[in-house]
Chain A
Amino acid sequence: MASSGAEEADPGEREREEHGDLHHQRRLASSLTARYSDWVLEALDELPGSFLLTDPALAGHPIVYASRGLTALTGYARREVLGSGARVFQGAATDRAAVAGVREAVRAQRAHQVAILNYRRDGSPHWVLLHLAPVFHARDGSVLHFLAVQVPIDDAGRGAGAPCRGAQGAVLAACREEARVDDDFPCASYSGKVFVDMDKRGLEAEKPRVASDSEKEKAISTANSIVAALNRYSKLTGLVVSGKRCDSVGIPALSSSLNLSLGRIKQSFVLTHSCLPDMPIIYASDAFLSLTGYSREEILGCNCRVLNGPGTSLEVIEEINQHICSEQACTVDLLSYRKDGSSFPDLLHVSPIRDASGKVAFHIWVHLDVGAKHDFNGLTPEVWQLGAVGAVRVAVRGLSASGSLLRPSQ
């Protein structure tokens, strides 16, 4: 795709090539605009940072979008990378194991973060934190795109030891060798300008860099912004995307009398089905939808982890999981995230709820935005929250005429 810097082709061929380029470019752009409204490109253009969107459905898993920040970081013009595979940024010294890890994550359709050595357009290597994440179709769980965020890793060791120039030089030389074999490497486009000190020979393997916490957070927050932007513009074409896979098929419906009782409860809460795999949300109160910004259709069937984000403490999540496994209740403080990516300090109470059979049927998750102003008529936040738990316990304990609470879904 990128101009190879070869000799000039004849004008006719050049024209056809350009026309082919244009057609190809349109095809790549439509990968996005077919799913989201046309404004999605503008919205993505406004996001800072260097990132790509790739489409696994097209041959070669090409890059279909590159952000403005890409040029500053990598030296590539955006249109140069469109249509290439993302490995265009890799080079000879890029750790093969890291690359394999990325490939595996793509295959398994899961998020992945790795510090990796990339090469700029001019052939200079630099370390980036690569954050890869799939973008799921919220309804059928298929992967629409992959997003890849590149956050430069600070050169922490500057001046501490001898810079590994020798290695770079050797690598460049080797790179040029390989370039004759493989067109993908950027060095193929680089024609002989040496700007590294070739005096120091001797390969010193460069130690893999470690990304700092702030760099990791930056990567995740950029990823969240991208998904939020896609969501904002997907609604216009009727598509809902999610960073997490949700499966709304097969959720049992609650009986109408139970729905009615639950509907009276004013607190912000969801009920998850304790027996179905991955504990999907089967009920969400209106207050919960207002608090988090999700619609009922979007949230039903999802796991509660949709509210997790970069600042959510993993220890707290683990604590919740342990209590769920031991059928105990717990109250925790954690950072939760709304649909638009904004976060709030959440006082969360999770508790198992038994139905008339005496067995645990659901879990209740009661949320409270501690940062917002509340008036609970003299009750403390904790008392207010448990009030919802008690009310749900009473409602779920009821017997219907047929003796069962849930109808199977259609």
Chain B
Amino acid sequence: MVSATKVEGEYSFLSKNSHLDQSEGVKTHLYHFGAEHGNDDLKSTACPEQGPSLLDTILLSQWDNFAWKGHLDYDVTACQLKVIEGGINFVGQLNNKWNSFSLKEYDKLFESFRCSKPNSMKSYEGLLLCVAQGENDRPEVAPSASPPKDGLLLIANAYPVEYGHIFLVPAAVNQLSCYWDKRMFGLATKIASEVNNAAFRVFFDSRTHVVSDHMFFQACYFPNPLPVESASTVVLYEYGGNARSDIIVSETVGYPLKAIVFTSNNLKALVNVVSEICFSLHDNTTAYSLLISNNGTKVFLFPQVKNLVTGCSLSTWECGGYFIYHTKFEFDNASETEISKRMASVSLQDSAFEDLKHLCCAIAHDLVK
């Protein structure tokens, strides 16, 4: 807590601060990746004996503390959940308070974290953690440090879709105004790997997760597999050579929304391939969502068309099979048929999807030589 104290010479705390370096002021827990993870190997399964990872523990702890202090708009764990009947097991949540931010609000929110204005102290409560590359072998936490410029800020979302809902935002704005930040995508995937919790997923939505030409990610926890994660897949491409940089490209089967899945234990391979594909999609102005799951070893790509009739598209969460209903009536009457129809209406046409599949395989083949 900050309090203004009268110091000799009648300087108040605030005015004293303005004489200091601009980067002072924002202090938070700083988590450093261990350097031993620099070899790009992603862990796909957690070892049960080890227990939750350090990053997992501190993230959950900070989020719970934030919730306990009453900064969330509502208690998301008080929102009822159900499995919607049918083979796909879509998940429905009854939540009349959630609404997705508009782009402008995102911009304002992140701006307040970038500038260390003392009078925006209040918004610092939502800054849970900063993550950055470290130099030591093992990961470590500094309880109070200024975020380094190449770090990623983890900021609590006051309108959570699920428990632990956060934004992943770069600590400093990249000078090059580039829409797709490969380094940032790599960091986001690495965070998924370090958290090492199958319930933790990171996601990106090309329509909404870009602010001032800079991308950001979101993440949250949900203990059950999402419907798309349980869907069957068929392999499209599998690099059979060097096992270390293996990447498997597959497509979902029987899932109402066409999706492509990239699986790899190699962070670099995954980041390179998916980034390249996203560049192409951006050039084609195709909207898409990414879901990073299974401790960062699996990336789901959901390409979408804009529904010309309703103009609606699906959020990443919805692509994954998790839907929020605002009224009890909608919640009670949610049906698999209706959801499948919605998904089909934004799904790529068959021919366009075939082209995309070819593109993915070609890129994977080119990059993973």
Contacts and interface: CB of A to CB of B under 8 A. Distances in A.
Contacts of A329: 68
Contact of A390 (B54, B64, B140, B223): B64
A384 B51 CA distance: 13
Interface in A287-345: 329
A234 to B, nearest CB: 34
B78 A354 contact: yes
Interface in B62-103: 62-65, 68, 75, 77-83, 91, 94
B221 interface: yes
Contact of B51 (A266, A390, A401): A266
Interface string B25-58: 0000100000000000000001010011010111
Contacts of A393: 60, 64, 77, 163
A260 B46 CA distance: 13
Contacts of B78: 354, 358-359
Interface string A378-403: 11100111110111011101110101
A358 B163 CA distance: 12
B83 A387 contact: no
B158 interface: no
Contacts of A387: 52, 56-58, 60-61
A383 B58 contact: yes
Given A378-B142, A391-B60, A397 B52 contact: no
A264 B223 CA distance: 14
A390 B164 contact: yes
Given A387-B60, A390-B61, A399 B141 contact: no
A379 B80 CA distance: 33
A385 B295 CA distance: 24
Contacts of B94: 358
A4 interface: no
Given A377-B140, A378-B141, A393-B77, A386 B164 contact: no
B199 A403 contact: no
B83 A403 contact: yes
A384 B61 contact: yes
Contacts of B80: 356-358
B143 interface: yes
Contacts, number: 109
Q: How large is the interface on B (under 10, 10 to 19, 20 to 34, 35 or more residues)?
A: 35 or more
A329 B61 CA distance: 14
Nearest to A378: B141
Interface string A260-293: 1101111000000000000000000000000000
B222 interface: yes
A329 B143 CA distance: 23
Residue from A263, A393, A394 having most chain B Cβ neighbours under 10 A: A394
Contacts of B65: 383, 386
A403 B224 CA distance: 12
A393 B140 CA distance: 25
Contacts of A397: 77, 81, 162-163, 222-223
B224 A391 contact: no
A383 B223 contact: no
Contacts of A391: 52, 56-57, 60
Nearest to A354: B77
B51 A265 contact: yes
Interface residues of A, number: 34
Nearest to A359: B78
B81 A356 contact: yes
B52 A403 contact: no
A377 to B, nearest CB: 5
A153 B162 CA distance: 60
A173 B77 CA distance: 74
Contact of B63 (A351, A358, A390, A399): A390
A382 to B, nearest CB: 8
A379 B58 contact: yes
A110 B83 CA distance: 48
Contact of B52 (A266, A354, A378, A401): A266
A389 B64 contact: yes
A399 B91 contact: yes
A351 to B, nearest CB: 8
A379 B141 contact: yes
B52 A264 contact: yes
A358 B199 CA distance: 18
Given A377-B54, A390-B60, A395 B79 contact: no
Given A266-B51, A378-B140, A393-B163, A383 B61 contact: yes
**Max chain A C-beta neighbours (<10 A), residue from B63, B78, B197:** B78
A327 to B, nearest CB: 10
A398 B51 contact: no
Contacts of A383: 29, 57-58, 61-62, 65
Given A358-B81, A377-B54, A379-B141, A395 B61 contact: no
A263 B46 CA distance: 13
Contacts of B56: 387, 391
A384 B223 contact: no
Interface in B219-270: 221-224
Interface in A349-363: 351, 353-354, 356-359
Interface of B: 29, 46, 48, 51-52, 54, 56-65, 68, 75, 77-83, 91, 94, 140-143, 162-164, 197, 199, 221-224
Closest 7 A/B residue pairs (Cβ): A390-B60, A387-B57, A398-B223, A378-B141, A386-B61, A387-B61, A358-B80
Given A390-B63, A390-B164, 20 more contacts: A263-B48, A264-B52, A358-B79, A358-B94, A377-B54, A377-B141, A379-B61, A380-B143, A383-B62, A383-B65, A386-B62, A389-B60, A393-B60, A393-B77, A394-B221, A395-B223, A398-B222, A399-B81, A399-B82, A403-B82
10 contacts: A264-B51, A264-B52, A265-B52, A351-B68, A358-B78, A377-B141, A379-B141, A383-B58, A383-B61, A393-B77
